[in-house]
Chains A and B, each alone.
Chain A
Amino acid sequence: MPARNLRKPRVNVSQRQTAKHSGKRFSTMNAPEQFDVIVIGAGHAGCEAATAAARIGARTLLLTQSIETIGQMSCNPAIGGMGKSHLVREIDALDGIMARAADRAGIHFRVLNASKGPAVRATRAQADRALYRQAIRSLLEAQDGLWIFQQSVVDLLVDDGCVTGVETQMGLTLSAPAVVLTTGTFLGGKIHMGLNNFAGGRAGDAPSNQLAERLRSLPFRVDRLKTGTPPRIDGRTVDFSVMESQPGDEPLPCISFLGDVGDHPRQVACHITHTNVETHRIIRAALDRSPLYSGVIQGVGPRYCPSIEDKVVRFADRLQHQIFVEPEGLQTRELYPNGISTSLPMDVQVALVRSIEGFENAHITRPGYAIEYDFFNPKDLKYSLETKALEGLFFAGQINGTTGYEEAAAQGLLAGANAAWKVAGREPWCPRRDEAYLGVLVDDLINLGTNEPYRMFTSRAEYRLRLREDNADVRLTPLGRKLGLVGEVRWRSYCHKRKLVDELAHVLGKRVLSPGSELATTLETATGERISKEGSMLGFLKRPGITLSGLLDSLSSDLDSVLPELAGVGREVLDQVEVEAKYEGYIKRQEGEIARVRRNENIRIPAALDYAAVKGLSNELREKLLVSRPETLAKASRIPGMTPAALSVLLIYIKKLSVVAQGLEKLQLPPTAADASG
């Protein structure tokens, strides 16, 4: 890294260290004394942050409280799903590790919305927790320039408004000009079960209170959220024969662009059961002992992931609610009954679980609980996920108010990469809303903040038709390569696939389809479509219901004679050509909209702009601008209530400032049209 000169001088830490835990001892592990980037926490955000920083070339240290829990899935054992798989594919396109680990750990894969269009198709994998941890750990260990160290961080080292490193529980001082904090729900965690509650992080983890105090002393806005988990169940005590079995998809999908079906371990089925009237009666009878309904819980829970007591109360007319019974892994019989997250007391949990079909004799291995925790208002972050208050400190994951492994990992990648770029003296980067769900995620968070755990959905993306799973590589891999995030192997594989796709699209675009020709009649009989006008084969693909792989199947014998172009082409390439053809018109149409937004994106608003001096703004808008202090005109345009006229006023004011700054106060005044006509 050519950026030594950028570093702040090391604080004088040696006096703070005891002889027993000196810096020297640490350097015997053959690591540098000074790192470029330190990542705190080895959850999903931390692991992507650390590998991203290291891929860029930063000497990176990943600190974790326990090496055994690296890559731990602390909630349900699944990766992907609507909106989330889109994020995972984007992480993968930038050469991150989540998708590859999911392919190695996935024991049940499904493509959601397979019957709908590619833009809303999403892959989801049930993962074996142990295999997933192993996969993540070996991917981390294979990363050059990344050191892993088991230590609790107790404090941040700060010098002159900049982060300079961290201090650990054992009194070690570790220096780096950039620190990425990815410590999840550790802040002010409070676990609820019935009317009892106690301080704690995720089940089992000790909260690191000293670091929390340090962070609280900084000018970050802190808010409170809530989330919950269901009780886990011993599979040996469950009767699967009365449940609906849900097998995985055939053919087996992969999540990573580099994935291979051969990476997948043995596949198993999930099961579906339901709550019933009796379950609901049990829950209603116990509401007075629910921390949610007795007012003990103050944090806001997610609207899309309500607890079972919430569902029963809010949708009182429903006679049953669905439960997905997900396996926790191949080597364990433990099950995750997804859909009955609860914080009711233990006796009620037992009763409600046992009222459910198939669970009559179920043994609960771990009780469900709700956890309340603090998060930092993400409006205090920049696009790079660096905090506005403390230079060099980056936040990623649940501490920013998001939920979900995928949302965390995506932020981790971005924060880790930006930390590395900052140290190298390079510009920050974040994809735009029309480039990636990652862009939507960060843009939503830092501009709008959140008052519930933020989860991605495809409906959050106004450019959903272009932000697809299938083209995440087209959208991001070339960019990632340029930015130094994408390695040689992925880059070659990407270029190869792209070449095949472009060639096939070109050939099919040239292939004339004239009515009555042999090709046309063969297609007509195979598909039931009519070909009455001359067009190209690519044009034919735009018709609804026509797929290349479908044609391949129905034409198998005649293929060589009528469409020799398709022979031997891989399915992935066929699919890609077809999807791009089908969406082409829509994507073009969105381009005008995107161009308008982009123009505004290039116009920066000075951080210290005096909004009071901007004439012509309504008081209400002025207030909103003061609070959110948007960095660009595009961000300002997304403030609720913003009008085109107010944007003009802002634009003029900014331009005026820059004119003054350049000392070009005397602008020429040529004759105007108004003069000329008068």
Chain B
Amino acid sequence: MAAIAETIAAVATPPGQGGIGIVRLSGPEAKAIGEGIVGGALVPRRVKFAEFKNQTGNMLDEGLVLYFVAPRSFTGEDVVELQGHGGPVVMQLLLDETVNRGARLARPGEFTERAFLNGKIDLAQAEAVADLIGSSSRAAARGALRSLKGDFSKAVFDLDQQVLQLRVYMEAAMDFPDEEVDFLNGGQVVARLGEIHEGLNLLLRGSTQGILLNDGITVAILGAPNVGKSSLLNVLSGEERAIVTDIPGTTRDLLHVDLTLQGLPIRIVDTAGLSDSRDPVEVEGVRRAEQQAVEADLVLWVSEAGREEIRVWPGSDNTIRVANKVDLTELEAGLAQRPDGQSHVLVSAKTGAGIDALRAHILEKAGFAGDASTFTARKRHLLALEEAMAALQRGQTLIAENLQTELVAEELRIVHEALGTIAGVVSADDLLGEIFANFCIGK
């Protein structure tokens, strides 16, 4: 394998976990970047205590720094690990700092990939790596999607559309100079660039304030009436938040509780039991419950242990089957295989048996298999926005200097591609399609 030029960096501990956090660097610049942050020379395989500082000299954290020289490292390249004590925000700052000093954010599984490519792990391990990358990229995708919900997503898509529209005009003016089309004049281009600038600015401010980093996953509890959904919510949250009675149909509307599981923010939503009742209130409750099943990242499908399921769940990828009231049976609590081959978690909301297994299963399903992918996915959004902003500003300067259209167009291409990493890439052909849809072009 030819030498890989880029130095990559990532948070190597699961996000939000308390205690120690590790930022890991791998690549030719790892040593230089590490030395910059700790302000001193690094000695191979020697643990050193140091203050971690940014380029302006402010202390970000303190902790241990380790340095492994290529090829005697995990990846086979120079590797530096910064182990600090800060929580997610400090880790994020530390990661930012490595990027400021020339590292690039690692893709999910990229450290392991390099290890394999450099002959550091064998075939069986490589297979496992591929699995890991597969699962963590799914988690990353979910993470990315989560930060795409709501206002943030809408804002990015709107901005993407604005950029597309402006590009349509600029590209059409270049590719179809003969056409009788009212292209934008200089003033109009300036105005539109200004609008995009404003939009980007709002997003960047919003996202640094934590919109991107703070939302976790939503877990909806669904099932037939009286199976113990509200009881599960209470035991998972550790509070008596939901009313529990032995009357089916107690819960009639959505109820949610926010909590963190090993640092991962989770919103648990209790729903009305799925029944065929005609009562308009219950009908509405069922409708809302079913909607949650679609919107939530994860569904806990609850039934009663040892009993026939009264309702059949269509079953999707993001479902955990929970058999509650295991205390009323001879069965053992915990993760188990059902006769039909499906796995389910047997629990008792009453005694708390199996609840830890359920928590672990939720974390695993959410994609937090010890990988920082979700964390990184969001961070990448921020970087993409920053890249878009930088290119946009260059474009604005070019216009101000009255420079050629094709240079402004080049900057807009970069803006668009950066936004495309969040909102989806627009191909050249799509762009042309927009041009042909907007203008009557062609001889």
Residues of A within 8 A of B (CB): 76, 82-83, 112-113, 116-117, 119-120, 302-306, 311, 314-315, 318, 321-324, 338-339, 341, 448, 457-462, 464-465, 544-545, 586, 595, 599, 602, 614-618, 640, 643-646, 648-649, 651-653, 655-656, 659-660, 665-677
Q: Are A586 and B74 in contact (CB under 8 A)?
A: no
Distance A82 CA – B45 CA, assembled complex (angstroms) = 60
Q: List 21 A-B contacts (CB under 8 A).
A: A116-B404, A303-B433, A303-B436, A306-B440, A324-B178, A341-B443, A457-B432, A458-B175, A464-B406, A464-B409, A595-B5, A616-B132, A644-B107, A656-B123, A659-B123, A665-B122, A667-B122, A669-B121, A672-B73, A676-B68, A676-B73
CB distance from A440 to the nearest CB of B (A): 9
Check A305/B406 contact, CB under 8 A, given A646-B137, A676-B45. Answer: no
A674 touches which of B74, B431, B442 (Cβ 8 Å): B74
Q: Are A459 and B428 in contact (CB under 8 A)?
A: yes
Distance A113 CA – B406 CA, assembled complex (angstroms) = 11
Q: Closest chain B residue to A646 by CB distance?
A: B137
CB distance from A353 to the nearest CB of B (A): 15
**Chain B residues, CB < 8 A from A595:** 5
Distance A602 CA – B131 CA, assembled complex (angstroms) = 25
**Chain A residues, CB < 8 A from B413:** 462
A119 touches which of B116, B137, B406, B433 (Cβ 8 Å): B406
**Chain B residues, CB < 8 A from A614:** 130
CB distance from A108 to the nearest CB of B (A): 13
135-165 of chain B: CB within 8 A of chain A: 135-138, 140-141
Q: Closest chain A residue to B178 by CB distance?
A: A112
| B282 lies within 8 A of chain A by Cβ | no
**Chain A residues, CB < 8 A from B75:** 673
A652 touches which of B74, B126, B136, B442 (Cβ 8 Å): B126
Distance A651 CA – B110 CA, assembled complex (angstroms) = 11
A640 touches which of B68, B131, B407, B427 (Cβ 8 Å): B427
Q: Are B428 and A652 in contact (CB under 8 A)?
A: no
Distance A459 CA – B167 CA, assembled complex (angstroms) = 10
Distance A673 CA – B122 CA, assembled complex (angstroms) = 16
Distance A69 CA – B344 CA, assembled complex (angstroms) = 75
B140 touches which of A116, A545, A599, A645 (Cβ 8 Å): A645
CB distance from B125 to the nearest CB of A (A): 9
**Chain A residues, CB < 8 A from B135:** 616
Q: Are A112 and B442 in contact (CB under 8 A)?
A: no
Q: Closest chain A residue to B140 by CB distance?
A: A645
Ranked nearest first, the 7 interchain pairs of A and B with the lowest CB-CB distance are A616-B134, A645-B137, A117-B404, A673-B74, A672-B74, A303-B436, A315-B440
Distance A671 CA – B71 CA, assembled complex (angstroms) = 10
In this complex, the member of B72, B121, B175, B428 whose beta carbon has the largest number of chain A beta carbons within 10 angstroms is: B175
Distance A460 CA – B426 CA, assembled complex (angstroms) = 12
102-126 of chain B: CB within 8 A of chain A: 107-110, 113, 115-117, 119-123, 126
Check A459/B174 contact, CB under 8 A, given A117-B407, A652-B126. Answer: yes
CB distance from B8 to the nearest CB of A (A): 12
A302 touches which of B2, B24, B442 (Cβ 8 Å): B442
A339 touches which of B115, B131, B137, B443 (Cβ 8 Å): B443
| B179 lies within 8 A of chain A by Cβ | yes
B113 touches which of A120, A651, A668 (Cβ 8 Å): A651
**Chain B residues, CB < 8 A from A646:** 137
Distance A665 CA – B441 CA, assembled complex (angstroms) = 59
Check A599/B45 contact, CB under 8 A, given A116-B174, A322-B179, A659-B123. Answer: no
Distance A671 CA – B5 CA, assembled complex (angstroms) = 23
CB distance from B388 to the nearest CB of A (A): 15
Given contacts A544-B404, A615-B130, A670-B71, 10 further A-B contacts (CB under 8 A): A116-B405, A303-B442, A306-B442, A595-B5, A616-B131, A644-B107, A648-B109, A652-B117, A673-B79, A675-B74
CB distance from B139 to the nearest CB of A (A): 10
CB distance from A448 to the nearest CB of B (A): 7
Q: Are B442 and A304 in contact (CB under 8 A)?
A: yes
**Chain A residues, CB < 8 A from B178:** 112, 322, 324
Q: Are B137 and A616 in contact (CB under 8 A)?
A: yes
Distance A677 CA – B13 CA, assembled complex (angstroms) = 14
Distance A668 CA – B115 CA, assembled complex (angstroms) = 12
| B209 lies within 8 A of chain A by Cβ | no
**Chain A residues, CB < 8 A from B427:** 640
